[in-house]
C-alpha cells in the first residue's frame, strides 16, 4: 500500500478572491426584513413557525424561506393523517391545549418585551410600547388562565 505524505493529503489552494470594489462605491447597509401582518382569518397561511422566532432571521428572504418550508411541512402532515397515531384526547381539546401553549409563549415573550424598559434605556416611544407589551402580557395570561380552567373540566 502506498504511504501517505503531507503532499498527497492536502488539497490544492483555492483561487484568490477577486479584488474588493473601489472605496468610492460603498455598499448600502442591508435592511432586515420585518414580520408580516397576519390576518387572523388567514392564520393557516402561517402555520408552522412563530413570528417571534422568525424575526431573528434578519437577512431578506430567510424568514420567507422558512415560512415556505413550514407551509410544505403543514401540507405534508395534513396529506398523510391516516399514517399518524391519533391524539389521546379529542381534536378540540388538543387544539385548545396547543392554543394554550402558544398563548403562554406569547405571554412570556410580551412580558420580556415589557421588562425592556426596566433594563434598557429606551426612547419614549419604545418605552411606551414596552409598557404596552407588559399590559398585554397580563391580558394574555388572563385568557390563557381561562383556557386552562376550562380544560380542567366542570367545577364541582
pLDDT of residue 9: 52
pLDDT of residue 42: 87
Task: pLDDT tens for the chain, 156 residues: list them.
Answer: 556 555 555 556 667 777 766 676 666 667 787 888 888 888 888 889 999 999 999 988 999 999 999 999 999 888 887 888 888 999 999 999 999 999 999 999 999 999 999 999 999 999 999 999 999 999 999 999 999 999 998 765
Distance spanning both ends of the chain, measured CA to CA: 82
- At a CB cut-off of 8 Å and minimum separation 6, what does 66 contact? 49, 54, 57
Helices (H) and strands (E) in the chain, counts: 5, 0
Rounded distance between C-alpha atoms, residue 126 and residue 121, angstroms? 9
Nearest-CA neighbor of 55 among 10, 107, 109?
Answer: 109
Write down the pTM of the prediction: 0.74
CB-based contact 54:63 (threshold 8 Å): yes
∠ Cα 48 40 70 (to 5°) = 15
Amino acid at each position: 500500500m502506498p504511504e501517505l505524505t503531507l503532499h498527497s493529503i492536502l488539497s490544492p489552494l483555492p483561487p484568490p478572491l477577486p479584488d474588493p470594489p473601489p472605496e468610492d462605491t460603498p455598499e448600502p447597509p442591508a435592511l432586515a426584513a420585518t414580520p408580516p401582518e397576519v390576518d387572523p382569518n388567514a392564520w393557516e397561511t402561517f402555520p408552522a413557525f412563530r413570528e417571534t422566532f422568525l424575526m431573528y432571521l434578519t437577512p431578506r428572504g430567510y424568514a420567507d424561506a422558512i415560512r415556505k418550508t413550514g407551509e410544505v411541512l403543514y401540507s405534508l402532515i395534513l396529506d398523510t393523517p391516516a399514517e399518524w397515531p391519533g391524539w389521546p384526547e379529542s381534536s378540540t381539546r388538543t387544539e385548545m391545549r396547543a392554543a394554550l401553549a402558544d398563548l403562554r409563549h406569547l405571554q412570556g415573550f410580551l412580558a420580556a418585551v415589557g421588562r425592556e424598559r426596566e433594563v434598557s434605556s429606551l426612547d419614549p416611544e419604545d418605552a411606551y410600547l414596552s409598557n404596552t407589551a407588559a399590559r398585554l402580557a397580563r391580558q394574555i395570561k388572563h385568557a390563557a388562565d381561562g383556557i386552562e380552567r376550562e380544560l380542567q373540566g366542570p367545577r364541582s
